[in-house]
Amino acid sequence: MPDTLVVGAERSPTSLDPRIGIDLPSENIHRLLFNGLLKKDEHGRMVPDLAQSYEQPDPLTYRFHLRHGVLFQNGKPLDASDVAYTYNTILNGPIITTKKAPLEKVESVTAVSPDTVEIHLKQPFNRLLIELNIGIVPNGAPPDFAAHPIGTGPYTLAAYQQDAFAKLEAFPRSFEGGPRIPHLLIRFIPDATTRALELRKGSIDLVILDIPPDTFDVLRRDTSLKTMTAPGDRYVYLGFNLRDPILSRKAVRQAIGYAIDRKPLIESLLHGRAEPAAALLPPYNWAYEKDVLQLSYDPDRAKRLLDRAGFPDPDGDGPAMRFQLTFKNTTNELWRVISTVIQKDLAAVGIGVNVRSYEWGTFFSDVNHGNFQMYLLQWVGESDPDIFRSIFETTGSRNRGKYSDPDVDRWVAQAGVEPTEEGQKRLYSLIQKKVAEDCPYISLWYESNVAVMRKELDGLRLTPNADYRALKDVYWTR
């Protein structure tokens, strides 16, 4: 029976310190090495992890009771001082991290007993629980902690080389139970074709997510491999600059939504591994609202909307366009093809589109600085509906398109202090309906999660966020 699992991944993490790394490759490793106070369940709610339970005695206080018998990988027992230390180094200490800003409403984090932590807020803040989703590190972690991380997770780090590999060993004393395969090797291979070839020749045992749709179809025909698909939370959308004189008109944005035929994009380019989306939150989410405006494919309606918006077609079905837009995306080959298909759909209703592809850093900088008319992007793993605060509130930190609506601002503010889940859901439903009508985004689809593995492997469960912690349950059948 093999004692090693080799996983292929596209990129290496930016930091092995869970207080710092925010990219998906970092979070994948964090979930193997660390546990948080809380974790997400399959509906996007935060549930206990290192905490055994928690309570909220008043709107400004949360009290967490820790599990007993939890050990760090160096044998030290976990206690409340470790939890307080982790958050206080983010809030008040030497750690420079973007995870500090979301915790700005925290007044203090205190270990009130060895197994109890209290968090006091400056003002009510419903998003606190999801912002606490950070791996807990030992009290007194040294400045070079990222080079020698120690957590409570199911694996320990044995060796690491940036852009090459991470070698992990099972931690059998994990409170969750030790992994079924004792050795885990994660190899970082940027090229998708190389990853596929390594799978086929057996030098990689498993790849999660990092598989293009066309490659997935080739690999599923290989008799030495097996494949998995499951619903995912990667939301793909078109974003607009609402300060643009053309795109500031709601009718134009709606027309673009009606002009795009998602079905062939999903069936041909994504090989059926996606579901059409009408809103950001996926259907499994507790706050999902299904009764929103559905921009199904209707090019005639798109043309009528453009006419009413003051952009008549100058020559009917001739080559002249009503207006021109610049459409930015990345150099990712699949996304470039998707953009080209969207360009053709929009041309069919008289909208001229100039597609511009940039390397990731340049593209993302332009998006964050509002330097665009229209762009293609995705949100990954955003399961908490309070994301509406940052992306659709007028002053939201990630409101890249400068959407502004007084009702949405009011509902977002009310949802942030509403004490009951029922009341929050009512407000989030109103937000989703209004945003779907106003179209600051055009929702395209939720991409499915995929995995390809040796046929002798079993036990993998693909969660909506494709959590790498599931690797601890994978085992060899031979």
468, 208 Cβ separation under 8 angstroms: yes
Regions of the chain short of the pLDDT cut 70:
1, 381
Buried b (16+ CB within 10 A) or exposed e, 97-131: bebbebbeebeebebeeebbbbbebeeebbbbbbb
**At what angle are helices 250-259 and 299-308 packed, to 10 degrees?**
160
> CB-based contacts of 50: which residues, under 8 Å, 6+ apart?
35, 36, 37, 66, 67, 70, 78, 83, 136, 152
Tokens of 161: 């080389």
Q: Does domain 1-34+153-224+455-478 have CATH number 3.60.110.10?
A: no
The pLDDT value recorded for residue 385 is: 87
Least Cα distance to 311 among 243, 373, 256, 260 occurs for: 256
Residue ranges per structural domain of the chain? 1-34+153-224+455-478, 35-139, 233-448
Q: Does domain 35-139 have CATH number 3.40.50.1860?
A: no
Instruction: Find the radius of gyration of the CA atoms of the chain.
Output: 24
**310 torsion bin: left (phi>0), alpha (psi -120 to 50), beta (else):** left
355, 340 Cβ separation under 8 angstroms: yes
CA dist 44 and 383 (Å) reads 5
**459 torsion bin: left (phi>0), alpha (psi -120 to 50), beta (else):** left
Tokens of 415: 């949802």
CB neighbours (10 Å) of residue 283? 12
- Asked if the domains 1-34+153-224+455-478 and 35-139 are classified in one and the same CATH topology, the answer is no
- Maximal CA-CA distance, the chain: 76
The CATH superfamily assigned to 233-448 is Dipeptide-binding Protein; Domain 3 (3.10.105.10)
238, 295 Cβ separation under 8 angstroms: no
Residue 42 has, within 13 A of its CA and on its CB side, a CA count of: 7
SS3 for 228? Answer: strand
CA dist 198 and 446 (Å) reads 28
Put simply, whether the predicted model's pTM sits higher than 0.85 gets the answer no
- Provide the strand spans (E) within 41-95: 46-48, 51-58, 61-66
383, 285 Cβ separation under 8 angstroms: yes
The pLDDT value recorded for residue 1 is: 65
SS3 for 417? Answer: helix
